Structure 1
């Protein structure tokens, strides 16, 4: 059996993980917030700002998928802490360089590199904390990490209104480097230390595919998170275009994203508490699916309303999207210690990485119906149906003992 660390070790790990996710979300959604001014300053016309903006988001997400696999494997082979050090160093440097871009191609390359670095943060943090904390406290700790961390998006939105887009990137890079120094005091997971001498295969990504049951669990954990990134990556990132087609003028994506993430933070705190109260991941997940569906319907029922009502609905969508804590925590709990970081780090990034596919689906549906709004709700119908079906068949993991290995 593994030795239990002290309460101070718990607290430090939770605080540093929360701060890490704060910096992570700052950079992750910063491009969505400053998409228009940054691309316009590089000489792109309004049509190119839309099309190249979709391309850059897709490239960043592809980088996160690749980074999720790389850092997941490293997390199981070399340790959770090394991933936390390596990921924040990579995306901090990439952030600073993003502020220096002079061409679209440079921007594409650096968003890809930043995506790789961003991939390791949240999954590694929740994996580490889940292994350090008693099983009764995992829900609230994960909710705190995700909830507090999402204020990084709010910070990005506020800062973007105060300084130019290049300075926004410099600030993000500096925050990451400061946090890197703070992480020197965090201790490695005792569960990971326990398996270091074991002969079992560690961080073998192919193990997700060589066993039918394990593969099914892995795919279910990915699919249940799809609605979150449909909301973030389509409904809110391109809220200005949706607002225009709804006859609502003056919608700013940066403001919509700020309201969205304020509410996601509230949702994350609520999910952690509710999951603890109900002692069930799945019941909590379906409750928040219901909230997200209600506000998605309200979103598309708008016509000629006010920006204030539009932003309120974005906040409601964000509260429903707080279910992201459930799928990430459940992903960590589904798998053994020798494969846990690979799952916990890669799955959130696989979910993020489906955004390019959802954007392609969105393009396809709006092309069929020749209508931006119709394409949007049809895409949502498909995405929610997939997520809910996957969640229905997923195993309950609340209170599960994590001190086991995958053979």
Structure 2
């Protein structure tokens, strides 16, 4: 595909803006996990209730991501990817500013729910735009850059939370989002979408994913291959203080530091996975490799008796590298479906994975109640989710270099 200098500049600008957008998205997505203990203690939650209250608030945020993924995904296919980017950023920016004024757990949870709705639109719309705008053999580089830069947003969140109050940390996230809106003014809708929008093709029809059996299971497998990612981030790392205590850590582990080092590792892993996928010309092989690395590093973590904060931070970095197949996972979802439902899929899939933390948390707590052991429960969930992910990966076709300029026919097959 020949591109003049103007179109190349537009693509570069698109990648930069999508990367910075995901940077702010990650900041706002993870700021609660980083300030969880400090903020909940400040509003009067007893120490004994910090873990479960934190799960409740995080699950509300994930529920917002679930709802927002559906809403923004459908809107992205019906009205354009650019409109979704503007609307989602504005909503989560205002919600984060409101978060600085909460004084009780229920209000906290409600505002995080609204923020979750807003956060749901950023990644899917950005990845869809990049995937549709770049050459089919090179789009992996674009999504790799978006993920690698975006994931570093956790460093900003950790640094801000460390030097400012937790309330001001939320304000900073909101201001960053509003500033990002100004950058969005310079990017354009993908030509692939514009061409499809001019036709009478049915667009953003969520029922198309459920009315056809083959399409439905392809969609479900896209979701299931990402579930280990959020179990590792949302439970194994976010609850590192509690897991560290069970491992006999001499000092209380800092969830904020652990998550920061993990996301640096994820960023490095995404770069490595992106290049490896380009070399192997396969995203499936890369995801298989990284799932096995994650299984190994997390098993080592759960068996590390007396782990110190410093060693935990380095281990979190290593775990993060293994979890760094996020960009490949989202790109596979984008490549599996036609232009008329691509934004719906690419927006809902990562957010359904994030929202899967809700049933994962419930099942994790169920095993804790049955086994009376947080480590045993973590092992059970780790192996269960990995097996499910690998099975689903085996059911998906390789889509590297697939031409994305096609539409899904509304064929019913139950």
TM-score by length of 2: 0.96
Counterpart pick for 2:264 among 262, 265, 271: 262
- Picking from 245, 252, 255, the partner of 2:254 is 252
Distance 2:38 2:378 in 1: 25
* Contact 2:58-2:109 within 8 A present in 1 as well: no
User: Does the Cα contact within 8 Å between 1:65 and 1:116 map onto a contact in 2?
Assistant: yes
Structure 2 contact 209–215 (Cα < 8 Å) conserved: yes
Q: Separation in 2 of the partners of 1:349 and 1:2?
A: 34
CA separation in 1, counterparts of 2:3 and 2:107? 48
Q: Distance in 1 between matches of 2:319 and 2:231?
A: 10
CA–CA distance in 2 between the matches of 1:13 and 1:42?
41
Structure 2, unaligned stretches of length 5 or more? 410-414
Partner of 2:23: 22
Say whether 1:390 aligns with 2:392. Answer: yes
Q: In structure 2, how many angstroms separate the alpha carbons of the residues matched to 1:163 and 1:271?
A: 35
- How far apart in 1 are the matches of 2:307 and 2:117? 40
Cα deviation digits, residues 151-184 of structure 1 (max 9, x gap): 1111101111100000000100000000101100
CA distance in 2, matches of 1:164, 1:306: 26
Q: How many residues align?
A: 407
Alignment of 1:1-400 (within 5 A): 6-248=7-249, 249-400=251-402
Cα offset, 1:292, TM superposition:
0.7
Distance 2:79 2:2 in 1: 18
Aligned residues of 1:3 and 1:190 also touching (Cα < 8 A):
no
Paired with 1:369 and 1:142, the residues of 2 have a C-alpha distance of 41
Alpha-carbon contact 1:2-1:194 (below 8 Å) kept: no
Q: Structure 1 residues 314-323 or 100-109, which shifts more? A: 100-109
Deviation at residue 305 of structure 1 after TM alignment: 3.0
Q: Partners in 2 of 1:353 and 1:268 — Cα distance? A: 22
Residue by residue over 1:29-79, the C-alpha shift from the partner in whole angstroms, topping out at 9 and shown as x without a partner, is 000000011111111101222111000010100100100000000000000
Superposition deviation, residue 197 in structure 1:
2.1
**Following TM superposition, by how much is the alpha carbon of 1:103 offset from its aligned partner in structure 2, in angstroms?**
2.2
The one-character-per-residue Cα deviations of 1:127-169 (angstroms, maximum 9, x if unpaired) are 0010011111111111110010011111101111100000000
2-side partners of 1:365 and 1:385: how far apart? 18
Tell whether the 8 Å contact from 2:295 to 2:383 is kept in structure 1 after alignment.
no
Query: Offset of 1:3 from its aligned partner?
Result: 9.1
SS at match of 1:272: helix
Q: How big is the shift at 1:234?
A: 0.7
**Residue-by-residue CA offset, 1:273-326 (whole Å, 9 max, x unaligned):** 111111001011111112111101111111113222222221111111111111
Question: Would you say the 8 A contact 1:59–1:111 is kept in 2?
Answer: yes
* Structure 1: gaps of 5 or more residues: none
Shift of 1:2: 12
Cα distance in 1 for partners of 2:7, 2:164 equals 42
Whether contact under 8 Å (1:367, 1:375) holds in the other structure is no
TM, length-normalised to structure 1: 0.98
In structure 2, C-alpha distance between the alignment counterparts of 1:288 and 1:58, rounded to whole Å:
26
Shift of 1:261: 0.4
Residue 250 of structure 1, CA deviation: 2.5
- Is the 2:70–2:348 Cα contact (8 Å) retained in structure 1? yes
Instruction: Report SS of the residue matched to 2:325.
Output: helix
Computed over aligned residues only, the root mean square deviation of the Cα atoms, in angstroms, reads 1.3
